[in-house]
Structures are given as structure tokens and as C-alpha cells.
Amino acid sequence: MSISASVHKIDERLVNVNWSFDYNPNVKKSGPLQVDRTYGYSYTYHFELQCNLSCIPKTDPNQIQNYKIQFLLTTRPGENDGSNPTDDADAILVYYRLPCDIWLTMANDVTKHFLEKCLDNKWQTRNISIPHPSHYGAFNGVLSIKFNSIGIGELNAVIRMTELIVQQTHCDVEFVFESGQRIGGHVAILSVSSPVFEAMFTNDMVEAKTGRVVIADIEADIFKDLLHYIYTGRTATPLTEPTAQSLYVAAEKYDIEGLQEECVDFLLFHVQLNNAIDLMIWADVHSIIEIKEPALKFVAEHFRTICQTAKWADLMKNHPELCLRATRMMK
């Protein structure tokens, strides 16, 4: 059974796909998607959208039938997809070819259900519980696909900077971690990017004399992403909630404001019923007002649902001051 889909370009970064399929539980549905982008040159990205739909057993004969639905998006190879060099332009890096964020909304519901990266070329939602559609047999909604974007000239400059840190060439400083891992860097680039690094390497400090910096409070992978951002303006891997939190703390320590802002934007955009309390507590512990206040507001706005969860009970027990703030913000 196929999924009917129509693609609508919103801007250079965002594409919305209006999708629908007929009612038929326990039968996999799928359909191809073709997304055209102008990226200095024109490229076409090929995807397949799949859906699994199953009935949730009723506990009461008079209960409205609910369904469990899960979506899977897979990239497919195709012509002119930017994955190989041509006579006209260099190959487009995977970071710019593949989506950086994907979410799904059901008809008449503004809740964003994010697709999580599960394999190299696959993203999927968690199971979503939905009632029977108002129009018999028709399920529909919108799939939003967001891309990173950059010009070809800028991309070539980024590639050259990326090679410095990825290939570890011409390094004049070494960062050493508790795990024994070592990562090289370049004093000049680090110093102009961070006032903390500038002070470290220009003053009469041991790091400036030895060219060796011991990192005891940041994991190697997070620090590598921090360095990658300094060199290229982006992280080496797409942000997730845990990495965005860790990177924010690291970026705050080294005063990398752009990365802090990017982490804040990511975390606030992805706040949901199942993570709002955790995010609020984390922001409170680290005194991040620009996250704490919106998270408090989200909890207050969705209080009727959140107050029934185990996380709310834990909040009342372990963080009564936050619980009080949230209840006072209720309208």
C-alpha cells in the first residue's frame, strides 16, 4: 500500500511534505519522495517514507479505537544527488546533503514528533498513539525536512579548515584526556576564537610553554566537537539532546558564544512532554536562564498532562522550588 505525498519547498532549508494514506492496519505503507534543492547547482535528493500502523487493543468496548503508528524515512541513491564529484562542482559533504532535523505532525495536532537518526541513512519516529481519523480511513499530516545550507565558495573554505582539524595537520598544541586520547590543535585559530584559549596561550602559563593542555572535565568526543565548531562553524555530528547539553557547558567554559546559542536553540526547539522537566532541572543546575524559563513555561502550559507523570512526582520531591515556580506560572 502506498503513501500519497506532495512536496512543498518553504525556503532554501525547509521542505514540507503533505502525506496521507488509507486505513489498513498491520500493512506496511511506503512511498518515494523527491526533494529538489538549489545549492549553487541543482541537486535532487531521493527518500522513501514508510509507515507501520497497528490497532491498540481496547480496554472498553465503548472506547474510541486508537492506533499505534511509526514512520521511517530512508535516503535512496539517485541521479544528481550531489554524492559524487562532477565536472561542474565538488561533491557536497554529507553534512549538507542529508537532513539536519526531521519532524512530523498529524492532522489537527501541532505536536512535533521528531524522527531520530537510527542508521546512516535512516530516521524514525517513536511509536505515536493517535485516535481514529475524523474522515473514515484517511490518515494525514505533514513531514518537515530541514537541511543545513551554505554557498559553494564558503563550502570550499570550510573543507580546507575541516582538513586541518580532521587530518590533524600542522598542529602546535596537544589536548590530553583522562582516557589517554590526544587531539591536536592550532594556537592561532584557537586564540582568535576563544578569549579563554587566548589567555591560556599568550600569558606565561604552563600550557603556552609546553604546548600541552590536560582536559579533565570534558569528554574527548565533546571536546572534539567543540574544536570542530571553532574551525568550521558547525559540530562534526548532528546535535542530540545529551550532546547539546554537554557542548553548552563546554562552550560556556571556553566562551564560544555561537555554539552556546546553537545549543540553546536546539534544546528549546526539541522540548517535549517527555523531556521538559529534565531540561528544566538541568538548566536550573547550570543557571541557564534562557533555557530554564521557557522550559518552566512549557511545563506550566502542559501541566494537566505532565503532572500525571513519574517525573513530576520526582520534581515535587527533589526540586520543590521548581515545582512551585511551574504551578505559579499556570494560567
Cell 503508528 belongs to which residue? 69
Amino acid (1-letter code) at residue 178:
E
Residue pLDDT, tens place only, 164-215: 888 898 999 999 999 899 999 999 999 999 999 999 998 878 888 888 999 9
Q: Are residues 216 and 316 in the same domain?
A: no
Top mean-pLDDT range of 21-35, 94-108, 206-220: 206-220
Residue pLDDT, tens place only, 131-160: 776 655 678 899 999 988 766 677 777 788
Q: Are residues 202 and 219 in the same domain?
A: yes
* For residue 88, pLDDT beyond 50: no
Residue pLDDT, tens place only, 280-329: 999 999 999 999 999 999 999 999 899 899 999 999 999 999 999 988 88
Q: Are residues 17 and 121 in the same domain?
A: yes
Evaluated on CA atoms 199, 200, 202, 206, the torsion sign reads: positive
Number of domains in the chain: 3
Q: Where does the pLDDT of residue 89 fall: very low under 50, low under 70, confident under 90, or very high at 90 and above?
A: very low
Q: Are residues 138 and 262 in the same domain?
A: no
Top mean-pLDDT range of 105-109, 139-143, 227-231: 227-231
Q: At 138, list the grid cell.
A: 484517511
**Domain end among 236, 266, 296:** 266
Please report the pLDDT score of residue 295 as a whole number. 95
Question: How much of the chain exceeds pLDDT 90, in percent?
Answer: 48
Please report the pLDDT score of residue 121 as a whole number. 84
* For residue 87, pLDDT beyond 50: no
Q: Are residues 290 and 216 in the same domain?
A: no
Q: Are 144 and 104 in contact (CB under 8 A)?
A: yes
Burial 307-323 (b: 16+ CB within 10 A, else e): beeebbeebeeebeebb
**Domain end among 129, 149, 169:** 149
Of 48 and 28, more confident:
48
Q: At 20, list the grid cell.
A: 496521507
Predicted TM-score of the model (pTM): 0.75
Q: Are residues 117 and 158 in the same domain?
A: no
Q: Which residues span the domain enclosing 38?
A: 4-149
Average pLDDT over residues 87-97: 60
**Domain end among 102, 125, 149:** 149
Q: Are residues 259 and 276 in the same domain?
A: no
Q: Are residues 107 and 140 in the same domain?
A: yes
Q: Where does the pLDDT of residue 99 fall: very low under 50, low under 70, confident under 90, or very high at 90 and above?
A: confident
The span from the CA of 90 to the CA of 86, in Å, is 6
**Which DSSP letter does residue 162 get?**
H
Please report the pLDDT score of residue 241 as a whole number. 94
How far is the CA of 94 from the CAs of 34, 40, 68, 83, 133, in angstroms?
Answer: 17, 16, 32, 8, 38
Radius of gyration over every alpha carbon of the chain, rounded to an integer in angstroms: 23
Q: Are residues 100 and 19 in the same domain?
A: yes
Q: Are residues 11 and 140 in the same domain?
A: yes
